[in-house]
């Protein structure tokens, strides 16, 4: 019996093998290579790359701090604009799908072309390129990633909850604060991660919309890998830091989502 | 249904005919192979010409596979890892140095005709073109790189291993009419500021012009930036009284030694001036610098001569001056400067069976006509002696056609007809064009932008050879330089104010919401009271 256990059987599971192979080859192997490179300096095993990054010799920590702040602010602005947007879209969803389409439409245009045109508009208006323009570009580019998950969650809220709240005497504001917003927390959380994670690792937007003056974490990693040789080590450390940040963000998302499930079941 | 059948039949017929044609060719003439690895957009449409040349000299067909790269770093990684199976490559000077040091190149001996043509299959139509190469460049190469010691302990000369292709200077592209408007388009002012133009420094620590603040572009490339910064340090006297770790005074170093000098003292100074420079910058650019200058977004850019000449020629404006003028101009700083070149080398991963084709390809590129076509296509200066290009009738025809020169004397009017009429031309005669293309000297920097080594009539170089340095690889200092550059790039930018503003915004929104809730609560209370009254 044991022998047949390892025999290849053409079951549904077989369809997963190519995908597993793909993941192994293009996700796991590169990660391992990054991990190895982070500990290598001129062929020797060392912590020098970590020491260099965390001592801020190349300004790496400053850049990371700036990136985190810009990512945070971008996410907050996206949420502030995106939530009302998604709410209105969800409210008029049945009657007007065209509106939703209009919000997704910019995503169909190549992102570089969009950003270059944004720069051209700023230049023609004589706006000085800098932090403000970068922030604008980030919000403009990542807003759809905030609106879409919010919209999906808001649309899927059972309308009878809202009716029930109204029946029990809640006015409109109370319905929004005590029924709609708590029910849409999963959407808010996934919207935040979908905006925050790309926002802290972006490099093209800051490069184009600040004339490369605002130097973000993505730019720094790009510099270590693409524009120089011999500095893969520090670049790998930076990638690892990025990876840790992404993992932390995902853990937080999972925790909040789990709590939410418990709450909704109760 | 019938329609489909007939369509399929026609397609199959076509396929058979094509296969038949394809199958027949190799039987009649043997086909050789060659794999060329070059920069993107760095050669003219050479393929037909080379095939014809190859057949002429060997009687055989050649099939060329052309692969491109974007940076020396990608190319080096591919070659050193053995990922690329290529026969002939065109790296920059410092990448050639790296390849030589790692024993990755095959010795060519192009400048020794007997050694080069030994073992080659050629007929008597073959002419060796090494004499066309500008001797100044070879002098410069061996003066800079000297004898390179490889990892295996051999001592080699770079000129034995490569054949120069294109070269140029590093300088400053600027908006001439903005400079005129701000009263700084003046030989004395600019020559005093020199490399300081990039730092908006008039040469003595004062601001060159308020109008330049926020309108200067720097290259997002550490090598080019390093060269410009080091020369600026020297000019401003910031290196005075300081010495290298070996105890040599910086002021005693030649241009060549200075840009290849990397140590902690000079890196600290670089970091300082590059950080201070940020307040004057429009930004850093890689690809968009020319466009930003042409569109008037910025007025000054660090640029290579080829890019700069292209941008200058693009910037012709009929409304400027009396009969129209170029809006942009190029400035090669006086005193110390930087020169670069690239050339063809044969990596040891090449296919030895392709050696004949490799050697013929390199020799093909050193024909004056091919050089002229390449200059037209790429915009950089070919490493061929300008006199050899000027003396060749076919090269002159190519240039006359490319630049719309009215020069009927170049065509014999029998087989080849003059394609440019007197009405459509941009230059009225060959002499006028030759003056512009080969002998033009700018009134501000006194330099020939295209041919920095070109001799003047009295036999002197218009640039002293020893003021132009060639940059070597940073070697084991590479890491320190990158760290310095990263630090300079990240310094002076803080997102903290942004955090403050956002906190303010969040507080404001929270206050509004709280107020709304409060108002609602008060109203509800009133309603309750009223209903009690009833």
Compute the distance between CA of residue B110 and CA of residue B349 in angstroms, rounded to an integer. Answer: 19
Residue from the list A59, A80, A228 with its beta carbon closest to the beta carbon of B73: A228
* B512 located within any domain: no
Name chain B contacts of A175, Cβ cutoff 8 Å: none
| Interface test with chain B among A75, A84, A229, A238, by most B beta carbons within 10 Å | A229
Instruction: Compute the distance between CA of residue A140 and CA of residue A123 in angstroms, rounded to an integer.
Output: 17
Whole-angstrom distance, CA of residue B453 vs CA of residue B461: 6
CA distance A261 to chain B (A): 27
User: Does residue B267 belong to any structural domain of this protein?
Assistant: yes
Domain housing B53: 31-161+346-384
- Residue A190 in contact with residue A253, Cβ under 8 Å? yes
Q: Give the bridge partners for B171, in sequence order.
A: B303
Residues of chain B predicted below pLDDT 50: 1, 24-26, 459, 534
Q: What integer pLDDT is reported at residue B369 of this predicted model?
A: 94
Residue B238 located in a structural domain = yes
Q: Give the pLDDT confidence score for residue A72 in this predicted structure.
A: 92
- Establish if B29 touches chain A: CB-CB under 8 angstroms: no
Q: What is the DSSP string of A73-127?
A: HHHHHHHHHHHHHHHHHHHTTTT-HHHHHHHHGGGGS-HHHHHHHHHHHHHHTTP
Res B498: pLDDT: 86
Same domain, B303 and B270: yes
Mutate to test the interface with B, among A213, A219, A235, A237 (most CBs of B within 10 A): A213
Does B184 share its domain with B120? Answer: no
B519, closest residue in chain A (CA to CA): A173
Please check whether residues B85 and B99 belong to one and the same domain.
yes
- What pLDDT does A130 receive? 86
CB B61 within 8 A of CB B30: yes
Same domain, B102 and B181: no
Q: Is B499 within 8 Å of chain A by CB?
A: yes
Mutate to test the interface with A, among B495, B508, B512, B520 (most CBs of A within 10 A): B495
The answer on B303 and B194 residing in a single domain is yes
Instruction: Quick: pLDDT tens for A145-176.
Output: 999 899 889 988 888 888 898 898 888 888 88
Residue B232 shares a structural domain with residue B303: yes
Q: Is residue B398 part of a domain?
A: no
Q: What is the pLDDT of residue A258?
A: 67
Q: What domains are there in chain A, each with its CATH number?
A: 65-265 (1.10.3720.10)
pLDDT category, A266, cuts 50, 70, 90? very low
> What is the least distance, in Å, from the CA of A211 to any CA of chain B?
4
Tokens of B497: 């104010």
Same domain, B134 and B191: no
Token look-up 């132009």 returns: B468
CB B381 within 8 Å of CB B375: yes
In a domain? residue B294:
yes
Higher pLDDT, A78 or B475: A78
**Same-domain status, B229 and B284:** yes
Residues B354 and B214 occupy one common structural domain: no
Q: Which residue has the higher pLDDT, A117 or B443?
A: A117
- For all residues of chain A together, what is the average pLDDT? 85
- Whether B71 sits inside 8 A of A226 (CB atoms) is yes
CATH of the domain at B350: 3.40.190.10
B324 and B371 assigned to the same domain: no
Q: Does residue B314 share a domain with residue B228?
A: yes
A168-201 pLDDT, tens per residue? 888 888 888 888 988 998 899 889 988 998 898 8
B382 Cα to chain A: minimum distance (Å): 26
B55 touches chain A (CB under 8 A): no
Interface check for B527 against chain A (CB to CB < 8 A): the answer is: no
Tell me what pLDDT residue A228 has.
67
B425 domain residue, yes or no: no
pLDDT of residue A263: 46
CA distances from B473 to A222, B73, B97, B261, B527 (A): 20, 12, 7, 11, 82
Measured distance CA(B64)–CA(B51) in Å, rounded: 9
B249-285 pLDDT, tens digit per residue, is 888 888 888 888 999 999 999 999 999 999 899 989 8
Residues B36 and B134 in one domain: yes
pLDDT (0 to 100) of residue B534: 46
Q: Which of A214, A223, A227 sits opposite B493 (nearest CB)?
A: A214
- What is the count of structural domains for chain B? 2
Q: Which of A131, A210, A234 sits opposite B283 (nearest CB)?
A: A210
pLDDT band, very low/low/confident/very high, at A231 (cuts 50, 70, 90): confident
Closest partner CB to B222 (pick from A174, A212, A228): A228
């Amino acid at each position: 019996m044991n022998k047949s256990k390892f025999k290849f059987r053409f079951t549904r599971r077989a369809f997963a093998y190519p995908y597993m192979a793909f993941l192994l080859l293009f996700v796991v192997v590169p990660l391992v290579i990054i991990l190895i490179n982070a500990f290598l300096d001129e062929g020797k095993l060392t912590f020098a790359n970590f020491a260099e990054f965390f001592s801020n010799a190349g300004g790496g920590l400053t850049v990371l701090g700036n990136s985190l702040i810009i990512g945070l602010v971008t996410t907050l602005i996206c949420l502030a604009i995106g939530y009302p947007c998604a709410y209105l879209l969800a409210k008029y969803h049945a009657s007007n799908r065209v509106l939703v389409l209009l919000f997704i439409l910019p995503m169909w245009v190549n992102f570089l072309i969009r950003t270059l045109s944004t720069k051209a508009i700023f230049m023609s208006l004589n706006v000085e390129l800098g932090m403000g323009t970068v922030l604008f570009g980030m919000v403009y580019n990542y807003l759809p990633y905030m609106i879409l998950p919010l919209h999906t969650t808001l649309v899927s809220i059972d309308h009878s909850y809202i009716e029930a709240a109204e029946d029990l005497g809640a006015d409109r504001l109370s319905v929004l604060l005590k029924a709609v917003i708590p029910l849409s927390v999963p959407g808010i959380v996934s919207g935040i991660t979908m905006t925050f994670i790309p926002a802290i690792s972006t490099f093209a937007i800051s490069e184009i919309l600040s004339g490369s003056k605002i130097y973000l974490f993505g730019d720094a990693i790009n510099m270590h890998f693409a524009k120089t040789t011999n500095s893969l080590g520090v670049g790998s450390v930076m990638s690892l830091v990025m990876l840790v940040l992404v993992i932390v963000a995902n853990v937080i998302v999972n925790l909040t989502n789990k709590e939410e499930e418990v709450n909704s079941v109760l | 249904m019938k329609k489909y059948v007939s369509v399929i039949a026609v397609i199959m017929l076509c396929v058979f005919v094509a296969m038949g044609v394809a199958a027949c060719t190799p039987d009649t003439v043997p086909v050789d192979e060659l794999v060329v690895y070059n920069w993107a957009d760095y050669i003219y449409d050479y393929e037909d010409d080379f095939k014809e040349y190859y057949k002429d000299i060997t009687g055989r067909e050649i099939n060329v596979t052309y692969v491109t790269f974007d940076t020396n770093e990608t190319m080096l990684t591919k070659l050193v890892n053995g990922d690329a199976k290529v026969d002939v490559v065109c790296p920059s000077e410092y990448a050639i140095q790296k390849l030589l040091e790692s024993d990755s190149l095959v010795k060519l001996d192009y400048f020794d005709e007997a050694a080069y043509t030994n073992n080659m299959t050629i007929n008597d139509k073959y002419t060796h073109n090494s004499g066309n190469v500008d001797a100044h460049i070879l002098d410069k190469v061996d003066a800079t790189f000297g004898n390179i010691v490889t990892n295996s302990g051999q001592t080699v000369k770079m000129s034995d291993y490569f054949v120069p292709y294109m070269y140029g200077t590093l300088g400053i592209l600027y908006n001439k009419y903005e400079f005129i408007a701000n009263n700084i388009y003046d030989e004395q002012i600019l020559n005093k500021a020199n490399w300081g133009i990039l730092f908006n420094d008039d040469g003595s620590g004062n601001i060159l012009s308020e109008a330049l603040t926020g309108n200067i572009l720097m290259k997002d490339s550490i090598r080019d930036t390093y060269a410009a910064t080091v020369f600026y340090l020297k000019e401003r006297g910031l290196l005075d009284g300081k010495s290298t770790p070996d105890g040599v005074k910086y002021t005693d170093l030649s241009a060549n030694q200075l840009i290849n000098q990397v140590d902690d003292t000079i890196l600290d100074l670089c970091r300082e001036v590059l950080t201070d420079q940020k307040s004057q910058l429009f930004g850093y650019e890689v690809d968009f610098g020319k466009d930003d200058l042409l569109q008037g977004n910025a007025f000054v850019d660090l640029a290579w001569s080829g890019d700069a000449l292209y941008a200058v020629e693009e910037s012709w404006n009929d409304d400027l001056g009396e009969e129209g003028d170029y809006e942009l101009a190029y400035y090669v700083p006086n005193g110390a400067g930087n020169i670069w070149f690239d050339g063809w080398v044969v990596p040891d991963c090449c296919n030895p069976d392709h050696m004949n084709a490799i050697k013929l390809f390199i020799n093909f590129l050193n024909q004056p006509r091919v050089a002229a076509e390449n200059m037209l296509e790429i915009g950089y200066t070919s490493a061929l002696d300008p006199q050899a290009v000027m003396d060749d009738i076919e090269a002159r025809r190519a240039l006359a056609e490319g630049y719309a020169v009215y020069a009927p004397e170049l065509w014999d009017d029998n087989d080849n007809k003059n394609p440019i009429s007197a009405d459509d031309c941009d230059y009225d005669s060959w002499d006028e064009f030759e003056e512009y293309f080969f002998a033009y000297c700018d009134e501000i920097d006194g330099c020939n932008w295209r041919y920095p080594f070109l001799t003047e009539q009295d036999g002197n170089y218009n640039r002293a050879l020893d003021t132009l340095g060639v940059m070597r690889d940073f070697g084991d200092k590479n890491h320190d330089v990158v760290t310095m550059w990263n630090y300079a790039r990240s310094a002076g930018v803080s997102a903290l104010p942004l955090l403050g503003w956002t906190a303010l915004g969040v507080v404001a929104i929270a206050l509004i919401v709280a107020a709304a809730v409060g108002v609602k609560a008060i109203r509800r209370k009133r309603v309750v009271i009223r209903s009690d009254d009833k």
